[in-house]
Amino acid sequence: MTLREALNEATQRLASISDTPRLDAELLLAQALGLSREALLLGSLERPPPSAFAELVARRAAHEPIAYITGTRDFWTISLAVSPGVLIPRPDSETLIEAAIDYFGSSTRGGRGPSSILDLGTGSGALLLAALAEWPEAQGLGVDASNVALEVASDNATQLGLASRARFATGNWGTGLSEQFDLIFCNPPYVELDADLPAEVRNYEPQSALFAGADGLDAYRHLIPQLPPLLNPLGMIAVEIGATQAAAVSELFVANGLTPQVRQDLGGRDRAIVHFSLGLDGKGR
């Protein structure tokens, strides 16, 4: 069997469990060969596949997420190491980064950028590290209740050359913090306990990063009251939400003296609630 034939066979096998079976097969074969996907596709596909490829395909066929098999996931402009102890970063979460750029401006276009960033529930460090990569003068703190997640986030900061600007601490959201920050991110668990999730999510990703009570709002009720004292006067808050939670989370923002605005992801779904101290266009900055 050639690489080409192995790819075709794997694609057919994964078609019943993945929306992107060909991409999955290519990523797994590249992993087995120790190559990037680009290098795989640019090279010859007529040689035999490595024996490890079949095992990787079997793991994916059992619904294990690609990111856990390959150990990496791209997010915004960075590539992160991920493991079963952390939630896999999703492109939808980039909505929070986009909202922050709208407010602070991009560093590549002379935007002032935030000086200090807080990421509550940092997980792999995706939001914090993407923001630090975006704004080279910023410093940041990532907080998480999971020591496994904090180890992954710290390792990612080191691999990305951001360790000197990123701190990590064990914590329960913002409890005990006395600093104030220009930019606050949070991607909390927001899934209802009885939600029907894909097997690759429910069976593999950490439940503590997914589920938040019967209505999915428990984490918001706890963390949103903590946010106003942590925000600098000219700062911004961006909190990720589930696609049906905009009204409920907006009410919690208002109840705590914040002005909510809903941001949608690229699929047109409600994805974040943001509070801009100076309004969406940043007038007065």
Contacts of 14-20 spanning 24+ positions with Cβ under 8 A: 14/57, 14/60, 14/61, 17/60, 17/61, 17/63, 17/199, 17/200, 18/60
- Res 281 pLDDT > 90: no
pLDDT digits (tens, 9 = 90+) for 25-82: 999 999 999 999 999 999 999 999 999 999 999 999 999 999 999 999 999 999 999 9
Mean pLDDT of the chain: 95
- Res 86 pLDDT > 90: yes
Looking at residue 111, its pLDDT comes to 73
Looking at residue 135, its pLDDT comes to 97
- Res 146 pLDDT > 60: yes
* CATH H superfamily, domain 76-276: Vaccinia Virus protein VP39 (3.40.50.150)
In CATH, the number for domain 3-62 is: 1.10.8
Looking at residue 68, its pLDDT comes to 98
Band of the pLDDT at 107, cuts 50, 70, 90? confident
Domains of the chain, residue spans? 3-62, 76-276
CA dist 172 and 258 (Å) reads 21
For residue 128, give Cα distances in angstroms to 22, 140, 154, 201. 31, 7, 11, 23
3-62 and 76-276: identical CATH topology: no
* Cα angle: 144, vertex 145, 146; to 5 degrees: 90
Looking at residue 284, its pLDDT comes to 36
Looking at residue 255, its pLDDT comes to 98
- Is the CB of residue 110 less than 8 Å from the CB of residue 118? no
What is the 3-state composition of the chain as percent helix, strand, coil, each rounded to the nearest 5?
40, 20, 40
Looking at residue 17, its pLDDT comes to 96
- CA 221 distance to own-chain centroid: 21
CA dist 141 and 143 (Å) reads 7
pLDDT digits (tens, 9 = 90+) for 218-271: 999 999 999 999 999 999 999 999 999 999 999 999 999 999 999 999 999 999
Q: Which of residues 280 and 167 earns the better pLDDT score?
A: 167
